[in-house]
Every structure is written in C-alpha cells, then in structure tokens.
Amino acid sequence: MTDDLNRELERAVEQARSALSSVSTLDELEALETRVLGRKGELTGMLRRIGTLPPEQRGPFGQAANREKSALAEAVEARREELRNASLAGVRDFDPTTPGIRPARGHQHPVLAIRREIEEIFLSMGFLVLDGPEVETEHYNFEALNIPGHHPARDMQDTFWLETAPDVSFVMRTHTSPMQVRAMERFGVPIRAVVPGRVYRNETCDATHEATFHQVEGLVVDRGISVAHLKGVMGAFLGRLFGREVTVRLRPHYFPFVEPGFELDFQCVHCEGAGCSVCKRSGWIEMLGCGMVHPRVLEAGGADPEEFTGFAFGVGIDRLAMMRHVIEDIRHFHAGDLRFFEQF
Ligand code: DAH
C-alpha cells in the first residue's frame, strides 16, 4: 500500500515537473498549479489518503509528500517569474552591449539661447534682469516715454490696441522700453537693469518683420553717466556676445525717449569693415537703438534729472540669432517646423 502511494507520488511529481517546463503562458501555469497543488489537486488528494496507511508509515509518507509539495510550489513560482519576464517585450533578449537609441530631447529655441547669453553677460556686469508685462498700458508704452497721443512718433510703431477700460487703454507692448519707467518706479535710482521680453507690432510680415519678436531693454541711471559709458558698455556687451573685440560707432537718430538718441553700428565681423554681402558692402551692421535717457522719462520714473543722468538701449534678439546662425527669414522662428529647430 505504501509502495503504491509512494509510487503514485513519484509519478505525479515527475509529470508535474515535465508539464511545468512545457507551460508557455501564465494561464497554463495557473491551471497546472490548481490541478497539482490546489485544494482538490493531486498531491492534496494523496495526503488525504494518508489515513489508509499503517500508522508507522504515515509520518514518513506525509513528510515526503509535503517536501515534494513545497518544492513544486517553489518551482511553480520560479516559472511564473520567468513567464512574467518573458512577457516584457524584448527583455529576455536584452543585449547591454548594443548601442542605445538616443531619446528625443528638447532643447532651447535659438532665440531663447541668445537671450540667456545676454542675461548672463549683463548679470556679470552687475545688472538686474527684470521681466515686464506684455499687455501694457498706453501710459507706460507711450506717454511715460515722452510719446504723447497724436505725437507722430506713435506711427513709428504699429500698435495692437486692446479693448479699452473707461480710464485706461491697453496695448500689446510695442517695445520693452516701458520697463525703463516701471523699473525706476520699482527700484529707484541709481539702477542698472536689463529687461528681455516679447514685443508685438501690427505689421505686415515679411522675411525681416514679424508681428511678435524679442528685445532686450537696458537702462543705467546714476550720477554722472555719459555717452562714453553707453559706448563702453555696448562695446563690452557685443564683444562678449560675439567672442571677439568689436568696433562700434554711434549715428544720431531720433527716439522720443532719449536725447541725444543714436543708432549703434558695429564694424562687420565678417569682412572687418571692408564691405561684404553680410553688411551690404557698407562695412557696418546696424545693431540697436540707444541714447541718453530723456529728462521727461527720468521724471516719469521718479528720478531727478538735475541730479541723475542715464543711458538706455533696445536690441532685437531675433536679429542677433539670425545673424549668428545666418538665418534668412525671421518667420522660421515661429513656423514650428522641426527640421528648422533641429539644426540648433
Ligand atoms: N524701443 C525702441 C524700439 O523698439 C528701441 C530703443 C531705442 C530702445 C532707443 C531704447 C533706446 O532704450 O534708447 O524701436
């Protein structure tokens, strides 16, 4: 009798083991587990029949059957783990020596990259870096900058007017210059600050004009500031940005918020002034608007023009990015074509 039961046990275990090695899905494995180890399973059934054995054989048989049972349970667990791993696609065949697939990572927009560089340069010169509102009041965008209503200078910048509240008119800021006055109001003078940001113009778009682009405004107000400081700081800034010494020149130009006002040119870094296609044969590249802060603007910011003078400048960031990367059309920046962006 014992022999029968023992042989039965042996055979059942053997069969279970070979079945185990051939199951190929978790479902099959579970069915096998139930059939052999379940409450009504084969091994359990044999253990129930232990009472049919003579008393002295019950102990040894029970121990043997239980040992087999837990060994099988372990083997089932191990197989389950194997099947699970195999079901994670490719994991079983993972070869750590094959070259990886580089995940697609984003990167900075070329305009943002230059903006950050400019911020770094001015931070290192002790400037604050400020942020201002893109929806601006008529007061800060125009009046406080010495551009009263009906002043012809308003036509210099085509403006997106927004809906008007009873006592204020809002615009999409046409330049970053309104932050000159806001910065003086907020931080007082003396002050050194730059304000990068997006501006808006209600213009017909073409290769060099977009309805929205980016500027960096600069403002330095202190006692005894002169045009020499303006020229020196601009030269240092452009030198750092282009990574070489640059020669700059000032040409008189009218901007209502500066007096005197200038356009700043730098000597073409491609031909060093000899004249080439980049500088349109003139040897100079027009870079930015600047000047000595108009006394009315100082007053609007709460600074006493008798005591303080200052300079300001405004530079287009998109244009700088276009020059650096030789981009021929400003509209690429907003067109969202990845073939363009992936080049940077
Ligand atoms: N705000 C001017 C523009 O958008 C640029 C500019 C010119 C800014 C002269 C200045 C400045 O601060 O002094 O065209």
Q: Which atom from ligand 1 is nearest to the alpha carbon of 262?
A: 9
Run of H or E including 15: helix 2-22
pLDDT in tens, 94-144: 788 888 888 888 889 999 999 999 999 999 999 999 999 999 999 999 999
Displacement of CA 222 from its chain's centroid (Å): 36
**Distance in angstroms (rounded) separating the CA atoms of residues 57 and 59:** 6
In order of 84, 94, 100, the CA distances from 90 in angstroms are 12, 6, 14
Contact 291, 298 (CB under 8 A): no
For residue 272, report the distance from its CA to the centre of ligand 1, in Å. Answer: 26
For residue 6, report the distance from its CA to the centre of ligand 1, in Å. Answer: 99
For residue 17, report the distance from its CA to the centre of ligand 1, in Å. Answer: 85
pLDDT in tens, 30-73: 999 999 888 888 888 888 888 888 888 888 888 988 898 899 99
Does this model's pTM top 0.95? My answer is no
**Ligand 1: which of 155, 172, 175 to mutate, most ligand atoms within 8 Å of CB?**
175
Domains, the chain, ranges and CATH?
Answer: 2-89 (no CATH), 110-341 (3.30.930.10)
Gyration radius of the chain over CA positions: 40
Contact 285, 339 (CB under 8 A): no
Burial class of residue 160 (count of CB atoms within 10 Å of its CB; 0-12, 13-18, 19+)? middle
**Distance in angstroms (rounded) separating the CA atoms of residues 75 and 143:** 84
pLDDT higher than threshold 90 for residue 220: yes
pLDDT higher than threshold 60 for residue 82: yes
Nearest CA to ligand 1 atom 7: 289
**Distance in angstroms (rounded) separating the CA atoms of residues 152 and 169:** 18
Residue whose structure tokens are 């000597």: 267
Give the three-class secondary structure for 143: helix
